Chain A
Amino acid sequence: MLRYIALKVGRALFVVWAAFTLTFVLLFVLPANPVDLLFDPAEINTVPPEVREQVAANYGFNKPVSLQYLDRLGHALVGDFGNSVQSGRPVTTAILGVLPSTLVLAAGALVLALLIAFVIALVATATRHTWVRNLVEALPSAAVSVPVFLSGILILQVFSFRLGWFPAFGDDGLASLVLPLITLAIPVAGPIAQLLVRSFGTEFHSGYVTTSWAKGATRGRIIIGDVFRNASLPALTIAGITFGNLIAGSVITETVFARRGIGRMTQNAINTLDVPLVQGIVVLVAVSFALINLIVDLIYPLLDPRLRATLAAPGAPAA
């Protein structure tokens, strides 16, 4: 068991380290002169050389690359990614200021997506009518094929401008969260629902379900008591991956709904070439992504006794 945990934690740490290293290479090593990135491209030719040198020294660009790397890594380990070029505030503070609102959005959207997906899968499995099943099974692909910027604008049009139920933008209170949540949740609900419909269908026709029928169980009891847990396991893995996509997807949602958050901040940071901020964002997103997947990996053995057994006692049955 300990070995398993150590393995998974190690993998999570590796992902974060790799994200850090990759962004370092992309942002600080590959550009011919990283100092150029720190100035507005329009004014770059008017900057006097002394100032450039001064800036380079400030950021440590005059040191060898390996030293720069170790220096930045060392600081990053204690949560210091330097200062934002634009605002001059520490990167970590800037990110932590907006991270919660993005996390709430992503987590909320994930929960909503899972709810939608489970409802679709349950209805498709439970119904006795073929046409209901066909209809419900068509929903996921429809959800996937509508892009976020389109559905976002559509939802805004209807619920905010026409009906006026929810505010169109801003980030004050729960009401302002509803529309972004729905916009973000619908496309990611699609793949999860497809997976769940399939695994519910497979499990519903498996051997132990026949046993349950023979015990005298009713359809509802079988779906809730037997199928649900077995069929839900695959959704856990995909939920972890989806969470990463949701954070990435927040760029569009936060722009459309004019919300504060990592997405907006990323967009600004890239537009203004705020190199330290971009690196900080990438690494912090990697951290949250790795953390979620670590949690998923650690929950798995709790839900599946077979996995728990192979971890606890290595008595794997041989062929």
Chain B
Amino acid sequence: MTETAPDDSTAAADPLLRISDITIEYRTGRRRWTPAVRGVSLHVEPGEFVSLVGESGSGKTTLVQGALGLLPAAARIRAGTIAYSGVDVTGWNDRRLALVRGNYVGFIPQDPNTALNPVKKIGQQVIEAVRFNQPRSNKAAQYREAALSSLRTAGLTDPERVFQQYPHELSGGMKQRALIAIALAGQPKIIIADEPTSALDVTVQKVILDHLIRLQDDLGIGILLVTHDLGVALDRSDRLLVMRDGEVVEQGPVRQVLTQPANDYTRRLLDAAPARHHGRLEPATGVRTVAADAPVALRAHALTKTYQLRGRRPHRELRALDAADLLVRAGTTHAIVGESGAGKSTLASILVGFTTADHGTVQVGDRELTSLRHTQLRELRRDLQFVFQNPFTSLDPRFPVSRIIAEPLHAFRLLPGKQQRRARVVELLRSVALDESYLDRLPSQLSGGQRQRVAIARALALNPRILVLDEAVSALDVSVQAQILQLLVDLQAELGLSYVFVTHDLGVVRLIADDVTVMQDGVVVETGEVEQVFHAPQHAYTRQLLAAMPGTRLAADAR
């Protein structure tokens, strides 16, 4: 075998990428290896858009790393082959694989915020990608021209300006476009994209994915998209593979997977996808009724918060929240939805008194929160609890579950007896569908879903009337997310709770909320009942958000 990159002359009939029966293992002990990918085969034909769907831990990223020859040192390919256009590259060393990467296969990484070198200008980073793959032509002007045209192809409207900028001067979407430009710079035949839009806002995600489709059509390249989002995969791909625990459990054309899923797990994934559902989740106990004239649980009026940006004069300000109103009816869920920078988290933290507003008032029941002093605010916390976004950081890693849940009881000196307190903790655990066996476990011994359940149990410990949940299901896999949402709905029916549910995901809003408030740049642009807002959006931004929601094929199929 010679040291050349595969080209199309080798065999036109071979697919761009064929992975056959591959097994990848991680070293987990001195002589122990644990497989992360087991006997997976896949292929991508020219001009084909293939999606690889799986939840966290399914082995999809390991598979992609294997295909690119970028496995971490602790992993190895145990069996199977990887071939690009019929050329078997399995076991090639770095130097030879470097000729394939960039040149033949382009890669779009997951998080555009970390994937660009912070101290180099964008232009230089794209030029490198051009230069590595055309070492013979050595005119600087040619490189520059190729890099600029690559940036243009990636959909950047002002490539000359971006060329001179550093990564931190660009928005997330523009960074991802720069990364697409880098992937395209070597003129590859196939592009592998690993969760390319997971770190981006939904409207940006739509634009980027649409652009990938256009590239596939215009340049005739093959695309392998790795994603956790079934809706995204179904909307764009020609063919779909579903991975679970290192194995492909389902594959086929999109229509087939959608209408006749052969595998049970696929069916569950499809059912768990928020886009599948029309209305709100119903509690397990039965149909829930909310009186139209339910009393007001929480009311915020004209909340304004301005951050001073540090630096020279003239002092610049960031208006994180601009005269935002919010009204939460007792026993209902009010969702606050918006993209990053919309001010929704600022609003949530003002509601519970973590942050103080510059102007405006918050009323809980008949008490006004904004004028309370520290001790009174603390007393109010018993009625108003908060669930954080990330269950991996919001639980003390050294506390056992029993102590985590008992913490609020401690803080307020409730139930001083050891027996009583333990009984309450067990009761709380039961209410979030966990049992006593979890009492002595540490957070590290729990899965993401179990952690979030513990966090919810902790929030419920003081019998609050209102829960503020900040992106409480965003860090969870879709099937776990569905369980937690169902739990929240059940708890609400049982305990008569009111929720303020902050999220960026419109699909989740539809599942759980009665009312919704749409925010953009610190301003409330629309508020109303979910059905009404979703079916007859008044504001252009709401329409834009709804249009960008992935899962249209899923939703269409469910009708």
Contact = CB atoms under 8 A, between A and B. Distances in A.
A80 interface: no
Contacts of A211: 107, 109, 115-117, 125, 179, 182
B330 to A, nearest CB: 31
B70 to A, nearest CB: 5
Contacts of B309: 314-316, 318
A310 interface: yes
6 contacts: A3-B311, A210-B107, A211-B182, A218-B95, A304-B119, A315-B309
Interface in B173-209: 179, 182-183, 185-186
Choose among A211, A216, A310, A319 the residue with the greatest number of B CB atoms under 10 Å from its CB: A216
Contact of A219 (B94, B105, B320): B94
B102 interface: yes
B397 to A, nearest CB: 21
A214 B107 contact: yes
Interface of A: 3, 130, 206-208, 210-219, 221, 225-226, 229-230, 303-306, 309-311, 313-316, 318-319
Contacts of B68: 213-214
A212 B179 CA distance: 11
Interface residues of B, number: 49
What 4 A-B pairs come out closest when comparing CB atoms? A314-B311, A216-B102, A207-B114, A214-B107
B94 to A, nearest CB: 6
Interface of B: 68, 70, 73, 94-95, 98-103, 105-107, 109-111, 113-120, 125, 128-129, 132-133, 166, 168-169, 179, 182-183, 185-186, 307, 309-312, 316, 318, 320, 341, 345-346
A206 B73 CA distance: 14
A309 B166 contact: yes
A301 to B, nearest CB: 12
Given A211-B182, A316-B310, A318-B309, A229 B119 contact: yes
A214 B183 contact: yes
Contacts of B125: 211
B118 A214 contact: no
Given A230-B119, A314-B309, 7 more contacts: A210-B115, A213-B98, A216-B132, A217-B98, A219-B94, A306-B118, A306-B168
Question: Looking at chain A's contact residues, is the secondary structure mostly helix, strand, loop, or mixed?
Answer: helix
Contacts of A210: 70, 107, 109, 115
Nearest to A205: B72
Contact of A214 (B99, B106, B316): B106
Contacts of B186: 215-216
Contacts of B320: 318
Given A213-B68, A314-B310, A318-B318, A225 B115 contact: no
A62 B336 CA distance: 75
Given A208-B114, A210-B115, A211-B116, A218 B107 contact: no
A217 B166 contact: no
Contacts of A215: 101-102, 128-129, 132-133, 182, 185-186
B38 to A, nearest CB: 24
A38 to B, nearest CB: 51
Contact of B119 (A206, A216, A305, A313): A305
Nearest to B314: A314
Contacts of A225: 128
A204 B382 CA distance: 47
Contacts of B316: 314-315
Contacts of B94: 218-219
Contact of A230 (B98, B118, B311): B118
Nearest to A230: B119
Contacts of B109: 207, 210-211, 214
Contacts of B168: 305-306, 309
A40 B118 CA distance: 62
Contacts of A304: 118-119
Given A314-B310, A318-B307, A218 B118 contact: no
A216 B126 CA distance: 12
A32 to B, nearest CB: 49
A175 to B, nearest CB: 40
Contact of B117 (A208, A219, A309, A311): A208
Contact of A212 (B99, B128, B169, B311): B128
Contacts of B132: 215-217, 221
Nearest to B112: A207
Contacts of B128: 212, 215, 217, 225
Contacts of B70: 210, 213-214
A208 B114 CA distance: 6
A226 B132 CA distance: 14
A206 B114 contact: yes
B118 A208 contact: yes
Nearest to A203: B117
A218 B98 CA distance: 6
B113 to A, nearest CB: 8
A230 B307 CA distance: 31
Choose among A212, A226, A309, A316 the residue with the greatest number of B CB atoms under 10 Å from its CB: A212
Contacts of B345: 319
Contacts of A221: 132
B300 to A, nearest CB: 20
Nearest to A130: B73
B29 to A, nearest CB: 15
B312 A314 contact: yes
Contacts of A318: 307, 309, 318, 320, 341
Contacts of A319: 345-346
Contacts of B183: 214
A307 B346 CA distance: 26
A229 B277 CA distance: 50
Nearest to A229: B119
A162 to B, nearest CB: 43
B311 A305 contact: no
A305 B169 CA distance: 10
Contacts of A230: 117-119
Choose among B98, B117, B168, B312 the residue with the greatest number of A CB atoms under 10 Å from its CB: B117
A309 B312 CA distance: 12
A216 B99 contact: yes
A145 to B, nearest CB: 29
Contacts of B95: 218
A305 B312 CA distance: 18
Contacts of B117: 208, 211-212, 226, 230
A305 B118 contact: yes
A208 B169 contact: no
A48 B109 CA distance: 85
B133 A216 contact: yes
A216 B98 contact: yes
Nearest to A217: B132
B136 to A, nearest CB: 14
Contacts of A226: 117, 120
A216 B103 CA distance: 7
Nearest to A218: B98
A168 B432 CA distance: 76
A217 B111 CA distance: 20
A213 B179 contact: no
Nearest to A310: B311
